Amino acid sequence: MMIFKRFAAALVMILIAGMALAQSQYQVRPGDTLVIEVLEDTSLNRATVVLPDGRISFPFAGTIPVAGRSVSEIQAMIAEGIAVNFANRPNVFVSVQPGQRAASTGPATIDVYFMGEVNAPGAKPLPRGTTVLQALAQSGGLTRFAADKRIQLRRTNPTTGQQSITEIDYRALSDGAVMNDFTLVDGDVILVPERRLFE
């Protein structure tokens, strides 16, 4: 019986060590949930979702680019960001709850975010391989106030945090122009600005 208890305890320790190693090597992605604990001030403890642009917001530290970084890197960044509010460098602990995209291999859908003058704004899961025009059709189309010549496709590189903006002339496409209809990737944002006066 004693041997069994020791074996069980050793097995639990191995599992915990393995999970800690996996967490330390895992690179955070948009959609993941970070559970953040500050030993010196529990009022700062929280769970926060990594936004599509790969960033999180944390009190006193502001906006932090976390996508593509390890848990230890994120802990150091948060500790550095809030250090001025403590007499000694605070102890920050971060654990990751992977989002559905990170946990599954080869997901069939991607998350695309619609903002501005679309009839159904918000996040939408779309089939992988969906193009901008197909996505706009699934968002309920444009409102009558949409600046349809200046639609923006915003894409953030999860590793560098750099955002690229591609402008799309929907009016020209709908009039039959032959233009590149971009294939969307996970985390893309389609922003439809409001039409200006006389536009």
User: How much is the pLDDT for 180?
Assistant: 65
Based on DSSP, count helices (H) and strands (E) in the chain, helices before strands. Answer: 5, 10
User: Closest Cα partner for 194 from 126, 121, 98?
Assistant: 121
3-state class percentages of the chain: helix first, strand second, coil last, to nearest 5: 30, 30, 40
User: How much is the pLDDT for 11?
Assistant: 45
User: How much is the pLDDT for 53?
Assistant: 80
pTM over 0.75: no
User: Cα torsion for 101, 106, 108, 110, to the nearest 10°?
Assistant: 40
Domains of the chain, CATH where assigned: 26-103 (3.30.1950.10), 109-192 (3.10.560.10)
User: How much is the pLDDT for 179?
Assistant: 65
What strands lie across the sheet with 92-97, from one edge to the other?
A: 46-49, 33-38, 92-97
Low-confidence residues in the chain, pLDDT < 50: 7-8, 10-23, 101-105
User: How much is the pLDDT for 141?
Assistant: 83
CA angle 137, 100, 117 (to 5 degrees): 30
DSSP at 120: S
User: How much is the pLDDT for 104?
Assistant: 43
User: Closest Cα partner for 151 from 162, 135, 138, 163?
Assistant: 135
